[in-house]
Structure 1
Amino acid sequence: MFKLFYASFAYMVVGVLSGLYYRELTKSQGFPEGDFTQLGLAHTHLLTLGFIVLLIVLVLEKVFALSESRLFGWFFWVYNAGVVLTSAMLIWHGTLTVLGQESNAAISGIAGLGHIALTAGMVLLFLALRNRLVAAKGAKTVAASAA
């Protein structure tokens, strides 16, 4: 449970810092305020996918003991790898945009791998949650038949 708490807290800190980086880099480089850069997306990705989603999973852990599923560890590491990879590529691509440099296909490809990891992590989360729901239902059935 503390692993989820600390990971969520870390994403909150990094998410806020990425917003600060976005603001300060664009300001220092004279980047036009209305122009698009992926740096702004990194801030919201980190806060939403990292901070908020992991806080929700923390609540699910408290209610359903998700970590008792053998899939939970897989979810945790695959999902976090996806968040980190995706956010890192957003920051890298956005920084290149602000600095007026060209991006390449490798950045998009690696970001795509990050999104695949995020998707796989979400599937693992739902499988772990399903396992715990089935286990809870089985425990209720056994308790009811014993009474």
Structure 2
Amino acid sequence: MKKMINTAFTYALLAMAGGVFYREFTKFNHFTGQTNLGFVHTHLFVLGMIGFLIVALFVKSLPHVLADKKFKIFYILYNTGLCLTAVTLAWRGIIQVLAIPVSNGLSTSIAGIAGIGHILLGIGIVLFFLIIRKKAD
């Protein structure tokens, strides 16, 4: 359980840093439009901090969760997916704020990497449901 709380705390710190970066970076660059940078903060808070606080509650109330062989896979896939998603949101947001012209290929690559991150998150969520459903009766 402590590992889940530490993971949630790490995501809370990253989310706060992402929020401060978003505010200061856009202010410094006199950017007033919409950018993907604002979603970094939200993704890390909700999917990271709140997500792992919920996982910690399940770990506490259902002892089989940590013992399940799929739990380690869930933990790795979910964290990898969330980190990929956050990094690509930040990458895209910085490009938007700085108005850097990007080729269609690079834009598609960024979207593809973000998509992979979301797919890994989705697989992680499904795995977690399979783990908690196993003995929830």
Query: When the two structures are superposed, what TM-score results if normalisation uses the length of structure 1?
Result: 0.87
Partner of 2:90: 91
| Number of positions where the alignment pairs a residue of Structure 1 with one of Structure 2 | 132
Partner of 2:72: 73
Structure 1 residue 64 corresponds to structure 2 residue 59: no
Could you tell me which runs of 5 or more consecutive residues in structure 2 were left unpaired when the two chains were aligned: none
Determine the C-alpha separation between the residues in 2 that align with 1:132 and 1:92. 41
Determine the C-alpha separation between the residues in 2 that align with 1:61 and 1:132. 12
Report the AA paired with residue 46 of structure 2: T
Partner of 1:107: 110
Determine the C-alpha separation between the residues in 2 that align with 1:76 and 1:6. 13
How do 1:2-17 residues align onto structure 2 when only pairs under 5 Å count?
Answer: 2-17=2-17
Report the AA paired with residue 131 of structure 2: A
Instruction: State the secondary structure of the residue aligned to 2:101.
Output: coil
Report the AA paired with residue 129 of structure 2: F
Moved over 3 A (4+): none
Instruction: State the secondary structure of the residue aligned to 1:37.
Output: coil
How far 1:51 moved relative to its partner?
A: 0.2
**CA-based RMSD:** 0.9
How far 1:102 moved relative to its partner?
A: 3.1
Determine the C-alpha separation between the residues in 2 that align with 1:60 and 1:102. 46
Which deviates more, 98-107 or 35-44?
98-107
Partner of 1:142: none
Report the AA paired with residue 4 of structure 2: L
Percent identical pairs in the alignment equals: 39
Query: When the two structures are superposed, what TM-score results if normalisation uses the length of structure 2?
Result: 0.93
Asked whether the equivalents of residues 69 and 131 of structure 1 are also in contact (C-alpha less than 8 Å), the reply is: no
